[in-house]
Structure 1
Amino acid sequence: MQLVDKILPYKSLSIVGLEKNTGKTETLNYVLKNIKNSSKRVAITSIGIDGETVDAVTNTSKPEIMIYREMIFTTAEQYFLKKRFSAEILDISREHTILGRLVTAKAVSNGKILLSGAADTHTLKKTIENNVRFGTDITIVDGALSRMSLASPAITEAMILATGAAYSSNIETLVRKTKFVCTLIGLATFDSSNIKFIDSNSTISINGDVELKGVYCLIDNELHDLDMLSALTISNISKGNLEKMRQNRTIFVFGILSNKLIDFLIEKNIAKDSTIVAKDFSTIFISDDKYHIFQKMGGKIMVLRKTNLIAVTVNPTSPEGIILNSTILQKRLEDEIGIKVIDVKQAEQK
């Protein structure tokens, strides 16, 4: 199955780079070029700025973003005025960014553009919802550097991950680090259908949309607040709530899940048979070694919502000129993660 065929069933897609210069923009251009002749109406936006001709950090040339006729795009006013093709304005947002309001338009001809879309995930979600009003079938979001939050299943339904020599110049290290990110993306979903949260005498169902904060313990299918605003301050937990955790080892974290909670559970001998449930992979900031130690001790990490990772793309060339063997890199990654891996530059030449 071709990459485009995997994309078409979804209404929204994010493209996220693990590091600067891992080929995210090349991946976006490859997707746009190959999807333009499909029957789907495509919209494109970004979180952050992308499409620069020169990398501000490495001072190396970068590919610009190519928009095709009939595609809908959203970018800031300043960049909309600098575009090099004709477009019909569909909407101008009330919200302001540092580069002006967000302009949504339909391309009347082909051309290149700088994208600077929503500054936050709330506005991004609103942009995606608005695109449906303009008859789009799928919105593609170009992500800022390592901005995993846009790939949250609460924002986009599917994602493509871009990795490469800029992330690590050693193939085995690159494969190991990329595999770990894919492991987090692929974490199993916790069945929360029968779980309730009781707050102020009202009962609500727990799912990926619920806006809770802090750390909770599951007792008899009910979430009990452990009076922690964040898992980052878990060391301040009361003796009573610590005992709840010890007796009921399913812990829900609404917010950032970091090494601190893992270390705490190991230190208190609670890691064995513990299950930590995070909102989704984008809220998990734990290291590879801590994850595997926790796993070996009998602990599990699960999520309320899972993202559909449909492909991984590779850029075997680093800004410093290091070139990895693309064929070996693709095979090693595919063997480890079980997902199609594409060198888009190589694919373009076929």
Structure 2
Amino acid sequence: MLKYKSISFVGTEKNTGKTETLNYVLSRLCSFSNTVVGITSIGIDGEKTDQVTKTSKPEIRIYPNTIFATSELLYPQKQITSNILALSSRSTALGKLVYAQAISSGKVVLAGASNTVWLKEVIGDIKNFGADIVLVDGALSRMSFGSPSITEAMILSTGAALSFNMKTLVRKTSFIYRMTQLKAIESNLAEKLLEIENGIYSIDENNNIIDLEIPSILMIDKHKEKLTSDITKIFISGIITDKLIQFLKTQKNIKDIELIIRDFTRVFCTPENISSYLEKGGKLKVVQPTNLIAITINPTSPSGYNLNSDKLIEELRKEIPLPIYNIKEI
């Protein structure tokens, strides 16, 4: 993992073992005496109780010399001794970001940048303070604000919390994996699109970006006339839905259509609908590609239901050519 300078940790659902995976990787990296690890979060993490299921969850534990970024409101909740390195000029909903370096080991609550561009800056700041590698704690449910694809690598956690049914769990996880493999657009265009946070745009043959003035993808029915047949390259800054894909599938020029999204987390469509769109010749590309390097599983759901761990890993490996581990058995 040391060949990567930044790694994000993402869960397919809450309670799939994402925080346990991050804690394991963090502890291993910190065991190397000459490695300085940095850590931050997309959203808030490290809390004792899951805010949705109200079940207990692992806290984030950091070690001496770890450089971390969290909000000034949450910084006092740390259970460690640390030195403040800097304070950000801009604020999150929980105040400015505090950059600090741990002196002792202990638990922290993290809150990080609220959008992708800022997250990239925060990762850079932590590196400038001396971190050799930066870990980013995230979750798919938070990705409409900050993208985990901004990091050099990603580790995905999945498990029984996503589905009690093993076939469904494998199908959903396999679909997410396939979305992480979407091809990226050219870098010059990507740099321009990365700065756009809202709206729907067409892109002409000279890579000029034209605002279609469609307020939301949810209002696509009222603005279909703006997606005329001469528009073949479309950028959606937010999510894509089944309604949009169904509309594009009806277009006579579907084989010429290239739909661009920010990253794989913007896909809120059924696997069947996306597959049908691609089979008809439609193209789907991303601004930020994802380098998924491993998957961890948690076979136990928050309600206590257990899947067979070995069987789950076996079935996932049939669909996904990546290292897959049971985080509770590492």
- Match of residue 272 from structure 2: 289
Q: Quick one: structure 1 residues 20 and 70, their matched pair in 2 at CA, closer, same or farther if it must change by over 3 Å?
A: same
- Match of residue 300 from structure 1: 283
Letter in 1 for 2:212: D
Aligned counterparts of 2:93 and 2:190: Cα–Cα separation in 1: 34
Letter in 2 for 1:8: L
Query: Quick one: which of 246, 249, 265 aligns to 1:263?
Result: 246
Aligned counterparts of 2:100 and 2:207: Cα–Cα separation in 1: 47
1:26 equivalent to 2:20? Answer yes
State the SS of the aligned residue for 1:302.
strand
- The Cα offsets for residues 150-188 of structure 1, whole Å up to 9 and x where unpaired, read as 4443x3222111111001011110010011111111112
Aligned counterparts of 1:174 and 1:55: Cα–Cα separation in 2: 21
RMSD between superposed Cα atoms in Å: 2.5
- Match of residue 170 from structure 2: 175
Q: Quick one: structure 1 residues 157 and 208, their matched pair in 2 at CA, closer, same or farther if it must change by over 3 Å?
A: farther
Letter in 2 for 1:26: E
1:227 equivalent to 2:212? Answer yes
Post-superposition offset of 1:146: 2.2
- Match of residue 90 from structure 1: 85
Q: Quick one: structure 1 residues 298 and 130, their matched pair in 2 at CA, closer, same or farther if it must change by over 3 Å?
A: same
- Match of residue 316 from structure 2: 333
- Match of residue 115 from structure 1: 110
Q: Quick one: structure 1 residues 130 and 330, their matched pair in 2 at CA, closer, same or farther if it must change by over 3 Å?
A: same
Asked if the contact 2:71/2:95 (under 8 Å) is kept, the reply is: yes
Aligned counterparts of 1:118 and 1:30: Cα–Cα separation in 2: 23
- The Cα offsets for residues 84-107 of structure 1, whole Å up to 9 and x where unpaired, read as 221111112233444443221111
- The Cα offsets for residues 30-54 of structure 1, whole Å up to 9 and x where unpaired, read as 1101111234321011122222222
Aligned counterparts of 1:226 and 1:86: Cα–Cα separation in 2: 49
Aligned counterparts of 1:283 and 1:57: Cα–Cα separation in 2: 22
| Superposed counterparts of 1:203-242, under 5 Å | 205-210=188-193, 211=195, 213-219=199-205, 222-223=207-208, 225=210, 227-229=212-214, 232=217, 233-235=219-221, 236-238=223-225, 242=228
Post-superposition offset of 1:29: 0.5
State the SS of the aligned residue for 1:92.
strand
Asked if the contact 1:90/1:105 (under 8 Å) is kept, the reply is: yes
Letter in 2 for 1:51: G
Aligned counterparts of 2:225 and 2:271: Cα–Cα separation in 1: 29
| Superposed counterparts of 1:114-153, under 5 Å | 114-144=109-139, 146-149=141-144, 150-153=146-149
Letter in 1 for 2:13: E
Task: Mark the structure with the bigger radius of gyration.
Answer: 1
State the SS of the aligned residue for 1:242.
coil
Post-superposition offset of 1:291: 0.4
Asked if the contact 2:62/2:108 (under 8 Å) is kept, the reply is: yes
Post-superposition offset of 1:223: 4.7
- Match of residue 235 from structure 2: 253
Query: Quick one: which of 23, 26, 30 aligns to 1:36?
Result: 30
Post-superposition offset of 1:72: 0.6
TM-score by length of 2: 0.87
State the SS of the aligned residue for 2:89.
strand
Asked if the contact 1:231/1:258 (under 8 Å) is kept, the reply is: no
Letter in 1 for 2:202: Y
1:9 equivalent to 2:11? Answer no
Aligned counterparts of 2:120 and 2:288: Cα–Cα separation in 1: 16
Unaligned runs of 5+ in 2: none
Letter in 1 for 2:310: T
TM-score by length of 1: 0.83
Q: Quick one: structure 1 residues 277 and 51, their matched pair in 2 at CA, closer, same or farther if it must change by over 3 Å?
A: closer
Instruction: Calculate percent identity across the aligned residue pairs.
Output: 44
Q: Quick one: structure 1 residues 53 and 222, their matched pair in 2 at CA, closer, same or farther if it must change by over 3 Å?
A: closer
Aligned counterparts of 1:332 and 1:58: Cα–Cα separation in 2: 27
How many aligned residue pairs are there?
322
| Superposed counterparts of 1:264-279, under 5 Å | 264-272=247-255, 274-279=257-262
